[in-house]
Homo-oligomer: A and B are copies of this chain.
Amino acid sequence: MPSGRKRSESSRQAILEATRSLLLEVGYERLTIDQIAARAGVGKQTIYRWWASKGEVVADAALDDGVTPHPVALPDTGAIRADLQTWLRQWVTDITTPEGTGLILALTAAGSDNKTLADRLYTQFSAPHEDRIRDRLRRAQSEGQLRADADLESIASTLVGALLYRVLGRNRPPTTQDADHLVELVLRGAEA
């Protein structure tokens, strides 16, 4: 029977919020646990008690934030190309804001350092996007809009990867127009 004081939800929130704000101010590499604790008004041990590393805190901070995993399902108006464009345009807008780009850079750095964390970040951040796209593609395929032999996994992965690559490159962040072109490029050959 577990006794003892319960985990403080307010501390948990304060830590994640402090992490998010510091991430935008100083970036992942210069982010320190000391800073997070100080800004959150929390003892360092309270962070170490519940998270194994800076990367874990950052991951939770990003994923806890409603914005990032962007749970919006793809629209289904019947026109696959338009629906994909609508959705990707919105996603590009989100990830090219300072907040969005900052979180992506932070999560990438975090994942670079830690395979376990990289897996978790892929599963919770990238995979849901790919899944949503693939599901919508599958519907289109069953409706005969896409060829039966189109590699839907590959299309979804390429769409997400190509845009993230431009965000990570930093000098040519993707635009909504880029999103449109990209959809055209990869769909052209897949359409029936």
By the criterion CB–CB under 8 Å, are B29 and A108 in contact?
no
* Segment with Cβ contacts to B, from A9-17, A69-77, A92-100, A111-119: A111-119
Checking B115, B119, B158, B188 against A158 with a beta-carbon cut-off of 8 angstroms, the contacting residue is B158
Checking B118, B166, B188 against A188 with a beta-carbon cut-off of 8 angstroms, the contacting residue is B188
* Segment with Cβ contacts to B, from A33-41, A59-67, A168-176: A168-176
By the criterion CB–CB under 8 Å, are A169 and B122 in contact?
yes
A140 at the interface (CB under 8 A from B): no
A18 at the interface (CB under 8 A from B): no
Q: How far is the CA of A126 from the CA of B172 in the complex (A)?
A: 12
Tell me how many residues of A have a C-beta within 8 Å of chain B.
Answer: 42
Copies in the complex: 4
Q: How far is the CA of A108 from the CA of B170 in the complex (A)?
A: 11
A162 at the interface (CB under 8 A from B): yes
Interface residues of A in 100-152 (CB under 8 A from B): 105-106, 108-109, 111-113, 115, 118-119, 122, 126, 151
A178 at the interface (CB under 8 A from B): yes
Residues on A close to B: CB < 8 A?
27-30, 105-106, 108-109, 111-113, 115, 118-119, 122, 126, 151, 154-155, 157-158, 160-166, 168-171, 178, 181-182, 184-190
27 contacts between A and B (CB under 8 A): A27-B113, A28-B113, A29-B29, A29-B109, A105-B112, A105-B113, A108-B108, A108-B112, A108-B168, A109-B112, A111-B168, A112-B168, A118-B168, A118-B170, A122-B171, A126-B169, A151-B185, A154-B181, A154-B182, A157-B166, A160-B165, A161-B161, A161-B162, A161-B164, A186-B189, A188-B189, A188-B190
